[in-house]
Structure 1
Amino acid sequence: MKQNEFKKQLVPMNPDNQVNYKLTLNIKELKEITNLIKELERVLGLD
């Protein structure tokens, strides 16, 4: 995988465990969580 070709990359959390990866994200890309509970209730049909 060439790093410069991807905006996102999977980073090994534990080099000995190839299954355990994390996705690197920029904080600006994350959605605001002020209405997280309401959104979860809506998605789960609990509203």
Structure 2
Amino acid sequence: MNDRKLNKKEKKVEKVKEKLAKKSKKSRLKIKAKKIRKCKKIEARNY
């Protein structure tokens, strides 16, 4: 395989990794928001 093809593949892998990182960050925030909402609901019930 020549260098050019290798570079293209590496760049693709990097892009995919970045996308995954962004996705996981978003999903983490979503999960956090869900947990906060759940806590608020429970607190509201207690009052």
Given the two structures, how large is their TM-score scaled by the length of structure 2?
A: 0.25
Higher relative contact order (CA 8 A, sep 6+): 1
The structure whose Rg is larger is: 2
Given the two structures, how large is their TM-score scaled by the length of structure 1?
A: 0.25
Say which structure is richer in helix: 2
Say which structure is richer in strand: 1
